[in-house]
């Protein structure tokens, strides 16, 4: 009869999991509080004190710390170890189900005292995790209630694979690493940033074939970007970067919207009442660059939009969902990757970027702060239609590499320029891409104009309204140029660089 040791603070899913193991013939061993819950639910359980022959002491501070427990966990699957346990009249333990005291939750409370925090430093739980993880070739470690379901299903159908055993052990070591770092930071009075990352997938290569690459996630077993791959080839390193850029861009808008991204830069963004119209407008912004790009939709991809997208070669499509008809259309393109996202959230609240011998951290740019008020600084004021386009262009340019310039008409980009060392070149790029479509369009700039030359170039292309942060010592020169040319201009007071 296999034996499982259960010692958990978080009782979520405990009874259901233990009951499932019991029905499969497992013997349940549990520490005080855990045993009490199982007994209340009519499950036969042996208390740790009875298993070891030693009572809990020091008010529960010492429960599982006993050679009978750790001998049972650490015994290898060898004749010598089995014989040694038998001589001591101890039994091997085949699974350890454990989670830790809520130290992080305790210290997050503003009124938490040092003594309260110290009482939430788990000793036995951490030791159980390490012991089971060390001997994962024989012992199954389950330290996350979120794993109960699939672990039980796997045991019901046979046994866990070596890879699954190893991944559970890795999760255990990641949990104890995070836990210990929190304790050390709290006791030393310093703030130590820790990242819990779970290996999700080894990638074929990085940006180039000679570079190694791997995908990590913040949750064990999650899909890329937290989504689900529905079809297509394996996602590459570059695919994932472009998918992230496209998704961040498209979820900025409330209307049905499409973003098309190529090499980390949007080449078309549009919003419309119908998703298919948004796609056609986004594609028209730069159809040459869109070839081989990434398409993102902030709503379900319907059949009409799918039919339109299928006329263009694209690498990946990411959306909140795909209608059955859309899936049928895309199924004809076996290499096309489809990623379904569960919601429109961008998580976590911070983003990281590695630099030589360090990591940069910043909060996610979610657009203008609520307290920001736009200010018309020219003699001419924007019309209602122009204001709608200015708001759209302002959001769109936040996802273009600095120095970002966006030309837009009817809530669709018609020209995009970015990623150049000077802003006026980006205005010229956007104008060249827009061509005749720039006449009557609006322009957004992610940062201020250091000189009035950008305004002159925009006006020559046909721009009639501009939105920009303002803040240059030469702002008045740009304002005067707008007044001279009959262009309306708005200052937002907020910059949106994207490097």
Task: Name the one residue in this structure whose structure tokens are 């919207």.
Answer: 257
Structure tokens at 39: 């007994």
User: Positive or negative CA dihedral for 16, 21, 27, 30?
Assistant: negative
Positions annotated as catalytic residues are 134, 263
Residues in the chain: 499
Side by side, the strands of the sheet bearing 3-7 are 46-47, 27-30, 3-7, 95-98, 140-142
**Largest alpha-carbon pair distance within the chain?**
98
CA distance 416 to 269: 10
From the centroid of its chain, how far is CA 499? Answer: 19
Cα–Cα distance measured from residue 37 to residue 227, given in angstroms and rounded to the nearest whole number? 36
Would you tell me how many other CB atoms lie within 10 Å of the CB of residue 34? 25
Single out the residue of 56, 10, 4, 60 nearest to residue 37, CA to CA. Answer: 10
**Cis before 242 (ω within 30):** no
Helix axes 32-40, 14-23, angle to 10 degrees: 70
């Amino acid at each position: 009869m296999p034996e499982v040791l259960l010692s958990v603070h978080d009782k979520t899913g405990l009874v259901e999991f233990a009951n499932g193991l019991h029905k499969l013939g497992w013997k349940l061993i549990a520490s005080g509080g855990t045993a009490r819950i199982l007994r209340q639910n009519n499950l036969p359980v042996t208390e740790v004190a009875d298993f070891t022959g030693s009572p809990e002491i020091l008010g529960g501070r010492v429960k599982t710390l006993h050679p009978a427990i750790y001998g049972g966990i650490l015994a290898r699957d060898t004749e010598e170890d089995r014989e040694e346990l038998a001589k001591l009249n101890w039994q091997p333990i085949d699974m350890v189900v454990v989670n830790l005291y809520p130290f992080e939750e305790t210290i997050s409370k503003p009124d938490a005292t040092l003594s309260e925090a110290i009482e939430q430093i788990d000793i036995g739980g951490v030791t159980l995790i390490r012991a089971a993880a060390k001997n994962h070739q024989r012992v199954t470690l389950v330290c996350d209630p979120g794993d109960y379901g699939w672990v039980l299903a796997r045991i019901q159908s046979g046994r866990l694979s070596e890879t699954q055993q190893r991944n559970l052990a890795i999760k255990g070591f990641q949990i104890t690493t995070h836990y210990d770092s929190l304790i050390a930071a709290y006791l030393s009075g310093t703030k130590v940033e820790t990242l819990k990352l779970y290996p999700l997938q080894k990638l074929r290569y990085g940006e180039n074939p000679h570079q190694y690459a791997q995908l990590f996630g913040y949750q064990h077993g999650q899909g890329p970007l937290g989504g689900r791959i529905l079809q297509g080839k394996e996602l590459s390193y570059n695919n994932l970067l472009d998918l992230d850029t496209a998704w961040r861009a498209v979820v900025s808008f409330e209307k049905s919207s499409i973003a098309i991204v190529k090499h980390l830069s949007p080449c078309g963004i549009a919003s419309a009442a119908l998703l298919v119209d948004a796609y056609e407008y986004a594609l028209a912004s730069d159809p040459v660059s869109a070839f081989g790009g990434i398409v993102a939709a902030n709503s379900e991809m319907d059949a009409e939009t799918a039919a339109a997208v299928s006329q263009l070669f694209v690498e990946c499509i990411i959306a909140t969902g795909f209608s059955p008809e859309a899936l049928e259309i895309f199924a004809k393109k076996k290499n096309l990757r489809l990623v379904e996202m569960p919601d429109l959230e961008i998580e976590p609240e911070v983003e990281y970027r590695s630099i030589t011998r360090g990591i940069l951290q910043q909060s996610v740019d979610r657009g203008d702060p609520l307290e920001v008020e736009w200010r018309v600084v020219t003699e001419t004021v924007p019309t209602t239609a122009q204001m709608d386009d200015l708001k759209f262009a302002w959001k769109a340019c936040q996802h273009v590499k600095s120095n970002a310039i966006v030309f837009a008409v009817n809530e669709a980009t018609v020209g995009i320029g970015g990623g150049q060392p000077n802003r006026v070149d980006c205005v010229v790029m956007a104008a060249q891409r827009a061509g005749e479509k720039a006449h009557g369009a609006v322009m957004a700039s992610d940062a201020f104009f250091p000189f009035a030359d950008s305004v002159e170039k925009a006006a020559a292309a046909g721009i009639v309204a501009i939105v920009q942060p303002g803040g240059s010592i030469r702002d008045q020169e740009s304002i005067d140029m707008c007044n001279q040319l009959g262009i309306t201009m708005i200052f937002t007071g907020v910059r949106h660089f994207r490097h």
